[in-house]
Amino acid sequence: HASVPSGAIAVTGNLTVTGQTSLGFLSIGPVAQNNPTSSTLNFPMNDDRANAVTVALSGGGTLSVTYAAPTSGATAHAIFDVTGYFVP
């Protein structure tokens, strides 16, 4: 468990998807996106997937994960485990 200091500007970690009701992708970044133009983690149905990432934090030190799926009302569980951080 990494404790991220308030002055951190980015984090490294593992993004995992599980329990998805549709195929799709996750996009992680400093702010939520209605229509992400790139994916961080692509996945099919019934397959837990993970991807190691380095991602910038928002000015308030937060992250957002967007789930994009071809069907309306799809759900998924996203897990982000912090493994490290960057400070200025």
pLDDT digits (tens, 9 = 90+) for 14-70: 999 999 999 999 999 999 988 898 999 999 999 999 999 999 999 999 999 999 999
Q: Closest by alpha carbon to 70, among 17, 39, 25?
A: 25
Q: Tell me how far apart the alpha carbons of residues 4 and 86 are, in angstroms, rounded to a whole number.
A: 9
| Predicted model pTM | 0.89
Query: Which three-class secondary structure state does DSSP give residue 48?
Result: coil
Q: What is the pLDDT of residue 2?
A: 59
State the amino acid at position 38 in one-letter form.
S
